[in-house]
Amino acid sequence: MITKNKGFLTLSVLLFVSLFLSIVLTNKKEPTSEFLQIKLINTKKQSTAINFEEFVKKELRSEITNPVALNKQINTKLTNYFYPVEFENWYILNTTTKEKIPINYLELNKITKVIILKPAPNVLIKRYTITNGITKNHFLSFDMETTSSRTHFTFPKNYTVEVIVYT
């Protein structure tokens, strides 16, 4: 009786090993360099979004307390900030027509708004919001490309950057 169990156990182990080896040998692994490039471009994408936010925060901390003037200043500086950088392509995406609209001051004014609140005598809350325009279908976006990969990022609806300024 013990010999039958050993034979069955040996046969089971051999079948398992052969099945495992056939799975391993038929699956092709992607080269490590491609994996690292994908991770690198994802890191660059996150870094670009963070840099945009920090740029806007810096501008919100300015002395300007008029929301229209502050929006004008931020959008003027952002127009230069979005100038094509290697691997980055900024644009405004119309989600209805899938059109990529080049960024300029007028287009930014259509999709952004600055709000300044004064909750206390020496406190200002300044918000820069990407409102996505009147029809809510224009999104600030960018693409990043390398030789082997491409990624796309779109800021979400009503994306807001906010700072608290003590005067």
Q: What residue ranges do the domains of the chain occupy? A: 32-166
Measured CA to CA, the distance from residue 39 to residue 4 in angstroms comes to: 52
pLDDT at 55 over 60: yes
51 versus 22: the higher-pLDDT residue is 51
Write out pLDDT tens, residues 88-107.
789 999 999 999 999 999 99
The confidence score (pLDDT) of residue 1 equals 45
Contact 160, 52 (CB under 8 A): no
Burial of 20 (0-12, 13-18, 19+ CB in 10 A): exposed
* Segment 52-68 mean pLDDT: 95
In the predicted structure, residue 28 carries a pLDDT above the cut 80? no
For residues 12 and 18, give the distance between their C-alpha atoms in angstroms, rounded to a whole number. Answer: 10
Looking at the chain, the whole-number percentage of residues with pLDDT higher than 70 is 81
- Of 79, 70, 84, 74, nearest in space to 54 by CA: 74
Minimum mean pLDDT range among 12-21, 24-33, 65-74, 84-93: 24-33
Amino acid at 69: A
Please report, as a single letter, which amino acid is at residue 132: N
Which residue is associated with the tokens 């609209």?
A: 101
Amino acid identity at 159: Y
Contacts (Cβ under 8 Å, ≥6 apart) of 82: 90, 103
